[in-house]
Amino acid sequence: MKIYILSRDAKLYSTRRLVEACTLRGHEARVVDHVKCDIVIEKRNPQVHFNGEPLSGVDAVIPRIGASVTFYGATVVRQFEMMKVFTTTESQALVRSRDKLRSLQILTRSGVGIPKTVFTNYTKDVEGVIDHVGGAPCIIKLLEGTQGLGVVLAETRKAAIAVIESFNTLKARVIVQEYIKEARGVDIRAFVVDGRVVGAMKRTGREGEFRSNLHRGGKAEVVDLSRDEEVAAIKAAKALGLHVAGVDMLQSDRGPLIIEVNSSPGLEGIEKATGADIAGEVIRFIERQV
C-alpha cells in the first residue's frame, strides 16, 4: 500500500516511527506537510497537490495535525476523504476533538465521567462560577491551550477570582473545572486504536508541578488499567468518532474522569513507557480497513 503521513516534520519521533512501521510491513510511506498542500476543488475530480504534483494512488493517510493548524489540516484530510482515501482520523472527528467545550458536552452525553466543568460568556458572577465547581482549589483552562499551556491551578478563592477576571478582561475564553485532589497530580493516558486499548501509562508531574504533561518534565510508567478505566477510554474515543486517540483521565473516588481526548497523540512517551509497538498497531489497523 501507499500510505501518506500528514506531518509538518519528518524528524519527529511519532512520524519516524510510523514510517518505520510502514516500511517493516512492506508498505510505501511518504511524509507530506499538510500545510504546504494545495486543494483543487473541481466537479467529480477532487485533488490534493504537494510541491506542484498531484497526490494520486494513495491508499491511506495518517493525519498528524497540530492544534495550531487544525482548520487547514482538517480541510486537507476532508479533501482526501472526497478522493475516497482511507484516513485513520476523520476530518469531522479531528475538528470535534479540538473543540474542548464541544468534546466535553459529547462525552457527558455518552455517559462518560468528567470533572465538573463550567463555561460562561465572560460572566461578572465569578464567585458563582467557582462555587459551581466546589470552590477552590480549582482548575482554569484556556479553551485553545495544548500540552498543559494555558492551564492554571488556583489554590485559593482569591487567586481563582483574580485569574478568571484577568482572562475575562483579555476576552480569553476559559473553562473552570473542579480539582480532583485524590488524583494527586497524576493522570493516565490510554492509547486507543480501532476500539481497543493498545497501551496505557501513568504520568506524574515533576516536583511542585500539578500538570503531568511529559512536555513539561513529567515522567511516565506503564500501568494496568482497571476494567472501568478501559471501558471509559474506549467509550470516549468512540463518542468523538476517533479510531486512533490518546485518552487522558484522572483516577477519582467516583471512578475514572476523562479530561481530554487527543486526536494526534504522540507515540514517544507511550512506546517508551510500555515497550509496545504502537506505530505497528496503527498500520495493522489500516491493513484491516483498506
pLDDT for 18-74, tens place per residue?
A: 999 999 999 999 999 999 999 999 999 999 999 989 999 999 999 999 999 999 999
> To which H or E segment does residue 80 belong?
helix 70-82
Reported as a single tens digit per residue, the pLDDT across 154-206 is 999 999 999 999 999 999 989 999 999 998 889 999 999 999 999 999 998 76
Residues 148 and 28 in one domain: no
Residues 107 and 196 in one domain: yes
In a 13 Å sphere around the CA of 234, the CA atoms on its Cβ side amount to 13
Residue 71's domain is classified under what CATH number? 3.40.50.20
Please count the structural domains in the chain.
3
Residues 249 and 191 in one domain: yes
Within a 10 A sphere around the Cβ of 184, how many other Cβ atoms? 11
Residues 159 and 210 in one domain: no
Residues 225 and 106 in one domain: yes
Phi-psi sector, 122: left (phi>0), alpha (psi -120 to 50), beta: left
For residue 188, give the 3-state DSSP assignment. strand
Residues 162 and 190 in one domain: no
Prediction pTM value: 0.91
- The domain of 24 spans 2-89
